[in-house]
């Protein structure tokens, strides 16, 4: 089945513009990440922003925690390849300075800036400049009053109430360029808070599991929260919050959206078989080499690395191209058709070369190119398939022997 035929209907939201990037209102879901440099160091921060943009970030957030950070933002914004969001902590003056520096969006945490007159002053200034604000509710820094009101615990209801209270302040100055997040490190809490929030507001939602931690557990937690909501049609922009290189955050966000069919594919989608008793190569090693070789190359194809030519081309027939191991050689196939045979140590470089060719010239041109080699390739694949079956039989994983053994033990 063509996975692209399955779509998750999205809940309608209003649209805001973060610089020139639309968020909400049916716009493509965007990926965000955050720099970890000192914002005052404009050159180092810009270098990181460029890295994040190359890895798939559409919008980047920088902290604005000191007057020097606001000065850094003034230097960063005109040279940034993507819109910049200023993250404001406790001092509303930093928000006013960030707006003056030209940022494209602010992020305020209602738990940190509490005085209504300060919130309204920021909203008024943002309104005058047409700059949106993210209301970033965080389970770990929930407003004390709300915490007490909801039984001295962080509940989805308390988080939603915090967001609504902040929206009410903004409405008093007639400001509605808002997006909202209700993040928590507890995945079920975060999921339920967003579900409830999406029932009571049509402002665009920014999804994330805060402080998810280092990989791999952090990736699993962030994906569990974000992916569950996306599948329910909730969410307009996402961020993986990992204790890891922020480039990983941007890449993962992009991979999640591409795998859900919510963004067009930009980089290679590498698939690989899990290996088994029939494998003719170290599949893990070759798949890792292929992953490194493709890295951030902009090749929007699904590419397969398969351990044997007996089942590889068939199991990966939906991939755009792939390579399956034979008798010390690699069998390249395009859309399930064998097109070339190469020595084992050229498997990865051949895969990259053909992937680049298809991206540049198109699939039809690749098939045309294959005409010269496909007969030889098919014959070689048949030979290696037969050889593998002769050597390892039909039961390369010895499953039938195990079944026999289990039966004997039972009798």
What residues form DSSP beta bridges with 267? none
Question: Which residues inside 256-315 make contact with ligand SF4, applying CB under 6 A?
Answer: 273-276, 278-279, 306-308, 310-312, 315
91-96 CB contacts, 8 Å cutoff, 24+ apart = 92/118, 92/119, 92/121, 92/122, 94/64, 94/65, 94/66, 94/67, 94/69, 94/70, 95/64, 95/122, 95/125, 96/121, 96/122, 96/125
Q: How far is the CB of 255 from ligand SF4 (least distance, A)?
A: 22
Question: Which residues inside 41-100 make contact with ligand SF4, applying CB under 6 A?
Answer: none
Q: How far is the CB of 313 from ligand SF4 (least distance, A)?
A: 9
Select 53 or 347, whichever has its Cβ closest to ligand SF4.
347
Q: How far is the CB of 306 from ligand SF4 (least distance, A)?
A: 4
CA proximity to 43, closest of 74, 85, 72: 72
Give the number of residues in contact with ligand SF4, rule: CB under 6 A.
Answer: 13
Contacts of 267 by beta carbon, 8 Å cutoff, 6+ apart: 56, 254, 258, 294, 296, 297, 298, 299, 300
Residues 112 and 92: their CA atoms lie apart, in Å, by 9
Q: How far is the CB of 323 from ligand SF4 (least distance, A)?
A: 11
**By the rule CB under 6 A, 156 interacts with ligand SF4:** no
**By the rule CB under 6 A, 16 interacts with ligand SF4:** no
Direct distance between the N- and C-terminal alpha carbons of the chain, in angstroms, rounded to an integer: 43
For residues 130 and 170, the answer to whether their CB atoms sit within 8 Å is: no
Residues 219 and 105: their CA atoms lie apart, in Å, by 26
Q: How far is the CB of 394 from ligand SF4 (least distance, A)?
A: 11
Select 224 or 396, whichever has its Cβ closest to ligand SF4.
396
Q: How far is the CB of 2 from ligand SF4 (least distance, A)?
A: 22
Select 288 or 311, whichever has its Cβ closest to ligand SF4.
311
Q: How far is the CB of 286 from ligand SF4 (least distance, A)?
A: 11
Dump the DSSP string for 45-95: HHHHHHHHHHHT-SEEEEE--SHHHHHHHHHHGGG-SS-EEEEE-S-HHHH
Select 124 or 291, whichever has its Cβ closest to ligand SF4.
291
Beta strands in 125-283 (DSSP E): 133-138, 178-183, 206-207, 237-239, 269-272
**By the rule CB under 6 A, 327 interacts with ligand SF4:** no
Select 293 or 389, whichever has its Cβ closest to ligand SF4.
389
Residue number, nearest CB to ligand SF4: 307
Select 216 or 274, whichever has its Cβ closest to ligand SF4.
274
Select 68 or 400, whichever has its Cβ closest to ligand SF4.
400
Question: Within 10 A of 65 (CB to CB), how many other CB atoms are there?
Answer: 18
Q: How far is the CB of 316 from ligand SF4 (least distance, A)?
A: 8
**By the rule CB under 6 A, 4 interacts with ligand SF4:** no
Residues forming contacts to ligand SF4 in the complex (CB under 6 A) are 273-276, 278-279, 306-308, 310-312, 315
């Amino acid at each position: 089945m063509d996975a692209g035929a399955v779509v998750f209907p999205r809940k309608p939201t209003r649209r805001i513009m973060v610089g020139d990037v639309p968020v909400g209102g049916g716009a493509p879901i965007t990926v965000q990440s955050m720099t970890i440099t000192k914002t005052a160091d404009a050159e180092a921060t810009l270098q990181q922003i460029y890295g994040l943009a190359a890895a798939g970030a559409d919008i980047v957030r920088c902290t604005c925690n000191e007057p020097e950070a606001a000065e850094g933002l003034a230097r960063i914004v005109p040279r940034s390849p993507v819109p910049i969001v200023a993250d404001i902590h406790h001092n509303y003056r930093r928000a006013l300075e960030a707006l003056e520096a030209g940022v494209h969006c602010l992020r305020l945490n209602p738990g940190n800036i509490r005085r209504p007159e300060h919130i309204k002053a920021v909203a008024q200034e943002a309104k005058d400049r047409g700059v949106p604000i993210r209301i970033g509710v965080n389970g770990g820094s929930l407003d004390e009053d709300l915490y007490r009101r909801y039984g001295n615990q962080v509940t989805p209801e308390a988080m939603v109430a915090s967001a609504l209270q902040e929206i009410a302040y903004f409405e008093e100055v007639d400001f509605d360029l808002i997006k909202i997040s209700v993040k928590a490190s507890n995945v079920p809490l975060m999921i339920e808070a967003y579900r409830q929030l999406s029932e009571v507001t049509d402002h665009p939602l920014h999804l994330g599991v805060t402080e998810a931690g280092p990989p791999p557990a952090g990736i699993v937690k962030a994906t569990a929260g974000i992916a569950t909501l996306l599948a329910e049609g909730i969410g307009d922009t996402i961020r993986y919050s990992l204790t890891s290189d922020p480039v990983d955050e941007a890449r993962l966000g992009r991979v999640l959206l591409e795998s859900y069919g919510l963004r067009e594919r930009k980089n290679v989608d590498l698939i690989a078989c899990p290996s088994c008793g029939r494998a003719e190569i170290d599949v893990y090693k070759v798949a890792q080499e292929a992953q490194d070789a493709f890295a951030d190359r902009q090749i929007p194809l699904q590419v397969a690395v398969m351990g044997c030519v007996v089942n590889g081309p068939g199991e990966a027939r939906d991939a755009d191209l792939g390579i399956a191991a034979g008798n010390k050689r690699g069998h390249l196939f395009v859309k399930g058709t064998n097109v070339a045979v190469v020595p084992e140590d050229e498997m990865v470089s051949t895969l990259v070369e053909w992937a680049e060719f298809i991206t540049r010239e198109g699939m039809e041109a690749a098939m045309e190119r294959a005409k010269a080699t496909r007969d030889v390739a098919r014959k070689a694949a048949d030979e290696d398939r037969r050889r593998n079956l002769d050597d390892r039989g039909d039961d390369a994983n010895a499953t039938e022997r195990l079944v026999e053994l289990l039966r004997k033990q039972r009798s």
